[in-house]
Amino acid sequence: MLSVIIPIYNVQDYLARCIDSVLAQTYTDLEIILVDDGSLDTSGDICDEYDIDHRNIRVIHKVNGGLSDARNAGLEVAQGKYVTFIDGDDYVHPRFVEELMRTIEQTSAQIAACTWQELKDGDTPHEVNLEKASCKIFSQEEAINTVFYQGELNHSACSRIFEKQLFDDLRFTEGVLYEDLAIIYPLLRKVEKVALLKAPMYYYMHRTGSILTTMSLRRTHVLDHLEELEQQVSSEDPQYLPAVRSRHLSACFNMLRLMPARDPKWQPTKQRVWDYIKKMRSSCIKDRNVRFKNKIAILLSYFGVNALTFIINKK
């Protein structure tokens, strides 16, 4: 019924906990696909050990191609009606699958998501009261707007279960960062409903040294995705343009916060985001759906890029 795809790269210290959390699910009609993306540590050996002992585990060893490539490799062989993605250093609550599958049955949603807990090494997840967890249903339009206005739904591919047929003609863009942001819009355009179960059952590990905690020029991929999305939305669904522009503006503010202030290699990116901020700040500050912290940053931007950068880096 459900294919669990776990992309794996050099996560030997976390991998057993991840796989064990899936094996411990109260919902058992699932296959587990471990995609070893050319790991240089013992992650591949750990996968093989689990494969020996568990009939519902399948292991793929492949040349390193990145997170998107690993997820796509899993999608190619997945046999379930539904699919979920769990990163190899994350893990999930024992009732993660059961509760989201029940949510799908009760709501007829094509995507069911839960909230998550962000953890660091040594942290223990807080208890989840599933009996008091509420569920919110989003139409397609509400889901798209909520994702790009950065509301209750985010753009992550993790912490949710999808109807697998949504991926029949879609794959994650390979060789880029923020691959979830690149695929979420075409996915949402295929659905009628998205359900959000307000229960933090996905445990996201915030690891020092991971890709998204390391600053590199690859982080500018988020700007590329959003520029392409603006062009697409302008021609196909202009009603979503304000939401996408709000998300783009937020990415620009975040890049200003993260970029090394005096490193010359970052100057073209600094100019790129500053030009976009100046272009969009007037319309975005009038948009009642733009989140409050963005509006504060917009107001600060009128004091100039250096003042804005100084203040947001003090936060």
Where do the structural domains in the chain lie, given as residue ranges? 2-209, 215-312
**Three-point CA angle 302, 152, 116, nearest 5°:** 115
Q: Model pTM?
A: 0.94
Mean pLDDT of the chain: 94
| Strand, coil or helix: 277 | helix
Q: Residue 218 — very low, low, confident or very high, per pLDDT cuts 50/70/90?
A: confident
Q: Note the pLDDT of residue 238.
A: 97
Residue 314: the pLDDT is 65
Give per-residue burial for 209-227: e unless 16+ CB within 10 Å, then b.
eeeeeeeeeebbbbbebbe
Tell me: the pLDDT tens digits for 50-77? 999 999 999 999 999 999 999 999 999 9
Determine the Cα angle at 221 with ends 271 and 223, to 5°: 45
Residue 312 pLDDT: 83
Q: For the residues 19-37, what does the mean pLDDT come to?
A: 98
Residue 311: per-residue pLDDT? 86
pLDDT tens, residue by residue, 239-274: 999 999 999 999 999 999 988 877 889 999 999 999
Cite the DSSP H helix spans in 78-214.
Answer: 96-107, 140-148, 179-188
CATH superfamily of 2-209: Spore Coat Polysaccharide Biosynthesis Protein SpsA; Chain A (3.90.550.10)
Structure confidence at residue 215 (pLDDT): 67
Mean pLDDT within 79-87? 98
pLDDT for the residue numbered 30: 97
Residue given tokens 């936060």 in the structure block = 315
